[in-house]
Chain A
Amino acid sequence: MLSQLPILQVVVPLLAAPACLLLEKSRLVWIFTVLVCGLSLSISMLLLHQVYQHGTMSYGLGGWDAPWGIEYRIDLLSAYVMLVVSGIATLVVVAAGTGLEREIPQEKQTFFYVTYLLCLAGLLGIVATGDIFNVFVFLEISSLATYALIGYGKDRRALWASYQYLIVGTIGATFILIGIGFLYSLTGTLNMQDLAARIPDAAGSRTASTAFVFIVVGVCLKLALFPLHLWLPNAYAYAPSLVTAFLAATATKVAVYLLIRLHFSVFGEQFASSVLPLHGILLTLGLAGMFVASLVAIFQPNIKRLFAYSSIAQIGYMIIGIGFGTALGLQATLLHLFNHALMKGALFLALAAVVYRFGSADISAFRGLGRRMPWTMAAIVIGGLSLIGMPLTVGFVSKWYLILAAIEAGMWPIALLVVTGSILAVVYVWRLVEAAYFQHAENELPEGLVGSGRLEAPLTLLVPIWLLVLVNIYLGIDTRLTVGTSGAVASALLGGGQ
């Protein structure tokens, strides 16, 4: 039974998606989706446990052995990312029970859950598979579902954002496909482990370098690395808030996972740095993204957009970690991948609660919010502090490791720049705090809400938000799970392959 876990992780949400259509009633579908996501979270936990106990798990699809058949391969890195993805997916879908009411009409909610599960299946598939063509297929499954999810937004600009993302995303995926074609023509294999064994023989061949460049650019489009990020702000700002919470916390993280997987497990650090001055490029783009996106974030009137730009900046941090090319740097990236999912999950869910009450995430909706929705606003403040990197939150842990990595690599100016970047985060988080606690609410309550009393979000939204916030604090103090796992993964990836 346990040996079937890798495939179950993908098949369960994939089959559950069409099954939703049979249930029809949106309330039933919601309960069913919560169960499926919960199941997938438990599978992730079991997998992580199994991998810790017995090492990497390999599963040959249809009984075909690895280099010929498609292999699902769960190592510590995959199990770690799966835990993030399925955990966030579960919390978001719990919140969706009430949170969706104001954003998606009742009759369309069933379709929302179908696409949501498909997206989850695609994301988990990317992480689970050990076959590079399979990565492309799952990438497209999750991307197509994502375009549809964004298109559910109420604002008509959501459609336009979704279309733009579709064009850019398809170009990115096609680039990856070209890269895979080159690799296959060179090595005659699609299995990642097999590729990793054969690529060193092909070092110096132009085909291999071309493949590498196409794949890196394709993946960077998907993970919204500055300056390939232009699709992201609109997509996040106009998608339904819960979709934004899910995407911000999982989709870009899986793309970062893909970059790490292809860079370190398939091509190998040595090959990668021989083709391109990749470290320099990643460091420069990471830093530029961090500063530009943070500066733009400061001037955004729409808070969803503000945090979307902040996401681009945070992706910059992750890329800087990879750019160091050291185990410590990679560990910082992996930590930030996990931690950023926690903070942005909490923040965007809290924004969803605000949108639920006020119908907009504009800064004007935040005036006096500290009194109107004290719990939601407190969650936003703690999430914001985590984003800045205050001690006792997870944000501190990952920034600390990033700075350590910079100093270890002898690049202390970068350590200083990272700290400066955090100050920019202080500015945009402060804008929210100022509006919420130091300004008075204008007396324009949305229709149907009377009186000026408390307007706290319903419990079904508050519980997932606060669970994430508490995890933010807990993992900021007890860092064994994240630091231990990411450290082991980083040294495994850089210690001459797995």
Chain B
Amino acid sequence: MLMELYNYWVVILLMMTGFYIVIVQGNLIKKLIGLNLFQTSVFIFYISLGKVSGGSAPIFAEGVSSYSNPLPHVLILTAIVVGIATTALALALVIRIRNAYGTVEEEELQQRDLEC
């Protein structure tokens, strides 16, 4: 049971690690790394959904009768693009935060807002 479904355990482990980092880390860049881990775990979840044991790549060929399901893989290509866009935007925001505040630590940010 545990070993058969090991891919899902990996997904859960990655997801929780990522989520924990997002919540606990005060450094904005590290938060983003956590967010990326969190998203990536979902990508792996989708990809392993599409795998059919013993199935080949979904390209029509003679002598092959079982194919993996390509649809989840295609969906995840889209989701990866979305993830990259999110990370890029977030990093751009971090750069501007750093220019405006001079720090990327959450606690210091809040302190500097209180000061003025």
Binding site for B on A (CB under 8 A): 133, 136-137, 140, 144, 147-148, 151, 156-157, 159-160, 162-163, 166-167, 170-171, 174, 177-178, 181, 184-185
With A166-B93, A171-B22 as given contacts, are A178 and B42 in contact (CB-CB < 8 Å)? yes
On whether the beta carbons of A156 and B93 are closer than 8 Å, the reply is: no
On whether the beta carbons of B86 and A170 are closer than 8 Å, the reply is: yes
Chain B residues touching A, range:
20 to 34
With A160-B109, A181-B46, A184-B49 as given contacts, are A170 and B39 in contact (CB-CB < 8 Å)? yes
Nearest chain B residue, comparing its CB with the CB of A150: B93
Chain B proximity of A80: nearest CB distance (Å): 28
On whether the beta carbons of A144 and B113 are closer than 8 Å, the reply is: no
On whether the beta carbons of A162 and B93 are closer than 8 Å, the reply is: yes
With A137-B78, A140-B86, A159-B100 as given contacts, are A171 and B93 in contact (CB-CB < 8 Å)? no
Residues of chain A within 8 A of B35, CB atoms compared: 167, 170-171
Binary flags per residue of B68-99, CB closer than 8 Å to A gives 1, else 0: 00011001001100100110011001101100
Residues of chain B within 8 A of A184, CB atoms compared: 49, 71-72
Residues of chain A within 8 A of B113, CB atoms compared: 157, 160
CB-based closest 4 A-B pairs: A156-B100, A140-B82, A159-B97, A163-B93
On whether the beta carbons of B86 and A133 are closer than 8 Å, the reply is: no
Interface of B (DSSP majority class)? helix
A140 to B72, CA, bound (A): 18
Nearest chain A residue, comparing its CB with the CB of B75: A133
Q: Any chain A CB within 8 A of the CB of B101? A: yes
On whether the beta carbons of A160 and B38 are closer than 8 Å, the reply is: no
With A144-B85, A181-B42 as given contacts, are A163 and B78 in contact (CB-CB < 8 Å)? no
Chain B proximity of A164: nearest CB distance (Å): 9
Residues of chain A within 8 A of B75, CB atoms compared: 133
Nearest chain A residue, comparing its CB with the CB of B96: A159
Nearest chain B residue, comparing its CB with the CB of A140: B82
Binary flags per residue of B55-74, CB closer than 8 Å to A gives 1, else 0: 00000000000000001100
- When the two chains form the complex, which single residue of B19, B31, B79, B94 contacts A177, counting CB atoms closer than 8 Å? B79
Chain B proximity of A222: nearest CB distance (Å): 14
